[in-house]
Amino acid sequence: MMHMHNKDAIKTMIEMSDDWEEADKIIMEFTPFKDTAAKLSFLYGMFDVSIVASCGDADPATRQEDDYRSVLSAILSLRWR
C-alpha cells in the first residue's frame, strides 16, 4: 500500500519523466502495479484521466497497451502547458 507522501512523489516523478518508457519504469519500480490493466487504472485515479475512445481495431490486449502509452504520453505533454 502506498502512503500519501509516496503518491505525491510518484506522481511528480511520472510528470517529470522524459518519455512514457521512463514513466513506466517509475510505475513498475515504485508501485505494486505490474500488468497493463492495473497500471492504466492507477493512472486514471492518480491523474484523473480516462480514454474516451480507443484507437484502431486491435485485439483488446494491444488496444489496452496503446491506451496506456497514450495516457502516459498525454500526462507528460501536459507538463509543458
Q: Residue 55 pLDDT more than 80?
A: no
Which pLDDT belongs to residue 80? 58
Query: Where do runs of H (alpha helix) occur along 31-59?
Result: 36-47
pLDDT digits (tens, 9 = 90+) for 7-49: 999 999 999 999 999 999 999 999 999 999 999 999 999 998 8
- Give the span between the Cα atoms of 51 and 65, in whole angstroms: 12
CA 6 to mean position of chain CA atoms: 16
Which pLDDT belongs to residue 44? 93
- What is this structure's pTM? 0.83
3-state DSSP percent of the chain in helix, strand and coil, to 5: 65, 0, 35
